[in-house]
Amino acid sequence: MDKERADVRLVSLSCLSNEGKAIIDTPVRGFVTDSDSKVGLSGRVVSRMGAATARTIVVGFFGGMGDMLKSAATTQSTSALGTTSTVDSAQIAKYSIGGGLSEGAASLHEFYLSLAKQATPVIEVGATKKVTVIISEGKKLEIREVGGETL
């Protein structure tokens, strides 16, 4: 199991009153650490490309089956002039189905392969992890008035 870190950066600090109105809302700079005091939160790497890879394999299987049907419906003859391939008229349906499977599978194979390449791993961090928030740049907090009184 791979262990990596999720990088968490602070961009703003907001506080709400009991009525749900913002009384503090200011930009800040900072970061978050967990119990080991290293920057970022430790987590587990979750790969999201497994399903696309599995689909690529299944599609490759159907492409191979299509190629097998095409070659089973084809007769090759070799002479001094070269090799020729002919399709028996009784086997034309088998040849067409094989060609369709083969071409369709090739297109799907490329699609699923590009999906697998685009997938990026995700770092899963536990929901109940205790963290430390560190504000790295000092900021004067201005408390806004809510309903005529300063909170």
What tens digit of pLDDT does each residue of 14-46 get?
888 888 787 888 888 999 998 888 888 988 887
34-60 burial, b at 16+ Cβ within 10 Å, e below that, comes to: beeeeebbbbeeeeebeebeebbeebb
**Distance between CA 142 and CA 60 in Å, rounded?**
62
Helix ranges restricted to H, 39-79 = 50-72
**Distance between CA 61 and CA 54 in Å, rounded?**
11
Q: What is the pTM of this model?
A: 0.47
Q: What is the DSSP letter of 103?
A: H
Adjacency order of strands within the sheet including 22-33: 9-16, 22-33, 132-135
What tens digit of pLDDT does each residue of 93-150 get?
888 888 888 888 888 888 877 877 777 778 888 888 889 999 888 778 888 776 655 5
